[in-house]
Each structure stands twice: as structure tokens, then as C-alpha cells.
Amino acid sequence: MATEKEVLEALRNIIDPDLKRDIVSLGFIKDLQIDGGAVRFAIELTTAGCPVKDRFREQAETLVGKLPGVTSVGVTMTAMKSRRPPATRPETLDKVGAILAVSSCKGGVGKSTVAAYLARAIQREGHRIGLLDTDIYGPSFPTLFNARQPEVYIRGELLQPVAVDGLKTMSMGYLLGDRPAVMRGPMASNHILQMLRQTEWGELDYLIIDLPPGTGDIQLTLVQQAALDGAIIVTTPQALSLVDVARGILMFEKVKVPVLGVVENMAVFTCDGCGKQHHLFGQSSATLKERFGLETLASLPILPGLCDASRRDAGAAIAEFAALADRVHRELGKRRAGGQQKPEVTAEDAHIVIKWPDGAMSRVPNKALRLACQCALCVQEFTGDPLLDPASVPENIRAEEIDPLGHYAVSIAWSDGHSSGIYSWDHLRRVAEACQ
């Protein structure tokens, strides 16, 4: 008969491709039972949508099945529960595996379209999906899902989601119809919270919340009440949009919501006559990864016909949406697994001090780091030329606030009033090396 130690040693050969560690040391093996030659255990994945779950199951069955005395192997695949504090999360969300926000701090970047087609891509993987439209002043779902005036039912005290080809949806647009939402901010916030708290979502693997554009009271209230597991920021390759990306990152990190990455929408147009690619909004001199330290989850082209997500197969022919769903699963898994080391950044009178995970130390002069800011206010978006005049930066400039941003960057607010500077760890290391 195989022992527990032998089973665990066999399972150590299974390496998570994203976390680069074996599934035993990651704590994925749960409820291991050995009864004679029968071995049973669960593999607790970081998310229900883990892209390698079938591979893990097959490897586990093969590796444990080869042990002497093992006659059968039973593997149950489960998923981690949310690690977000549940104190404020409504009871209607108790059976939701993960809650994600799709955000943009500027309107007109295609946020709602991305949210809808991402939901369809995840649904086609076999997951249970809900989608909540919280844009009370400009709801998109009645148009996107061809549900102009659906019947919205109440059972008990709870709104019943409107099912659109298997996708559970809810929107203030369903309730208002074509009427405008004429209401002030506090009233709008209350109506949105009602939809969040009083919609009977039931059991879902993912609930995707389509946030209204901006970083105001409505967004902050929603983010805190829903206890989000992660956020996705949608932008277009324009300087104005990228300034707002920085604001969105800072908003989510202030309320301890991990930003999973950025979706660059309407990035390129391919001419159907000559096949040449055109960057209608310009092509940035730096990638989003270089600028913010965040992964680019998808770079979506301009495509005709992305206006009807009413069918399950909406977007099925567009490979970028399937890839986006895969990246979202992986990035959420990384955040839930935790344990990622990051540098420690502190301020001295004239320097920023960085202690790197490998133990090395760097001291960067304040002015050098201020001049190295890559935000759209300091660097010309398309040429990469500096916009910041070195003479305008005081010699005695100092850091007034330092905020780590997840595992990917740090934000520094300077004494000259500049507060949108986001320094990725890679950029910070390059600046530190240049100052040595």
C-alpha cells in the first residue's frame, strides 16, 4: 500500500506553469485519503477557470497510479474560495466564485463591449457567468444583448436576472427602458447597490461587473460593497486614455483590489483591400507593460459587427477573446495564490531607497527618479520625447507618498504636485542601474 508521503512526493512532479512551483508546496492537494489500494484526493485550483485543470488531473492520475500497490486513483477538482473580506459582500453573492470588474476611467473605449464578449468567451468554456451593467446613465446591455424591454421578475424580494442564451444579466436599462436616468449621485449609487444586493445571482463561477467610466463615488461604493477579486482596465492607445489608466490603477489599489491587467482596445485596423495595418489612434512608443508594469491581457483590433452579444457564440470566431479569457483566469490565479515577492521602497531626504527581493539595495536620487517618470504628462506618447523640462524640477524635490501597486509597480507622489507617476519594477531597476 502506498503511503501519504509517497503520494505527495509523486505529486510534486506537477508544476504550475504560471506560479513555477509544484502543486504540493502550493497547498493545492486537499483531503488525501488512502484506503488499501484506493487513493483519493482533491486538487484545489486557484480559479474554476484554471486553463491547466485537465492536464493536472491527467498527470495526477498517471503519477499516483504508477505507485506500487495503488489500484485506483480518484481526483476531484475544486477551486479556491474568494480571499476577499466577506464582511460587506451581499448575501446574494455568497455562491459566486469570483467577482471581477471591467473598468475604464474614460468613456468611449469599448469597455462594455469587452465585458460582454469576455463573458461569452468564458461561458463557452463551460462556466456559469453573470454580467451586471452598473452604468446607470448610459446602460449598454439592452442594445448589446438585444433586450430592449425584457420582463424583469421579482421573486420574494429579489430581482431575477435576465437570461440571454444562458448568460445571466442585469442592467438598469432593463428597468428604465428608453427613459433617461435623471438623478443625482447619491440616488444613483443607491439604485446600483440595490441591483447588486437584490439580484438573485445563484451559483456562478464568475460575476463580471461592467463599471461606469470614472473614479467617483459610484465606482468606489461598488468596488467596496462587491469585495472584488480583481479588476481589468480597458483603454485605447491614446495619451488621454492612458492618463486615465493611471487614475484607474491608483483607485483600485487604494481600495486593495488587485488589477489583473490592461486590455488595449481598438489598437489596430487591418485594411480588407490591401491587408495593411493602420494604427488609427497612433502607436505608443512604450508598451503598457513598460509604462505601468501590468500585463497586456489582450490587444484587440477594430472589428466590424461587435454590437450583438445576444448569442452564446458571439465572438467565437475572434481568437483574441478566447486568449483574453485564458489570461484573465491565469492572472486571477496568480493573485489568489499570493506569495510573489516585491521590492521594498522607502524615502530618504534626497533619495529613494529600494531593497530588491534578492537582497540588493539601490539608492536613486529624487530628481533623477522624478525626471524618469513615464506618464503621459511627462513623455510624448508617440515619439517617446520628454515633455518634462528638467529645469522645472526643484533640486530639493522629495517623495511625499509612496504606494506599492500590487506586485508590479510603485506609485510616487512628489512635492512638486505630480502624483500620476507609476514606476514598474523593471523601469525602477533600469533607472537605479543608470544612477550607479
Class of domain 91-337: alpha beta
Task: List every span in the chain annotated with CATH 3.30.2020.30.
Answer: 344-434
**Secondary element (H or E) of residue 168:** strand 167-171
CA pair distance 406, 81, nearest whole angstrom: 20
- Strand segments, DSSP code E, in 230-315 are 230-235, 259-264, 269-270, 277-278, 296-299
Does residue 217 contact residue 189 with C-beta atoms inside 8 Å? yes
Say which range, 42-46, 261-265, 384-388, has the weakest mean pLDDT.
Answer: 384-388
Q: For residue range 300-356, what is the model confidence (pLDDT) as tens digits?
A: 888 877 889 999 999 999 999 999 999 999 999 988 887 677 899 999 889 999 999
Q: What is the DSSP string of 311-343?
A: STTTTTT-HHHHHHHHHHHHHHHHHHH------
pLDDT over threshold 80, residue 190: no
pLDDT averaged over the chain? Answer: 86
Superfamily of chain region 4-79? Fe-S cluster assembly (FSCA) (3.30.300.130)
Q: Which amino acid is at 4?
A: E
The separation between the first and the last C-alpha atoms of the chain, rounded to the nearest angstrom, is: 60
Between the alpha carbon of residue 76 and those of residues 56, 201, 203, 336, the distances in Å are 11, 25, 19, 20
Strands (E) across 175-240 are located at 204-210, 230-235
pLDDT of 87 strictly over 60: no
The CATH architecture assigned to 344-434 reads 2-Layer Sandwich (3.30)
Q: How far is residue 168's CA from residue 161's CA, in Å, rounded to a whole number?
A: 5
Residue 108: per-residue pLDDT: 80
pTM: 0.85
| Structure confidence at residue 225 as a pLDDT band (50, 70, 90) | confident
pLDDT digits (tens, 9 = 90+) for 311-324: 999 999 999 999 99
Every domain range in the chain assigned CATH 3.30.300.130 = 4-79
Domain with CATH 3.40.50.300 in the chain: 91-337
d(CA 370, CA 367): 5
Strands (E), 244-285: 259-264, 269-270, 277-278
* pLDDT at residue 285 in the model: 45
Closest Cα partner for 77 from 54, 99, 95? 54
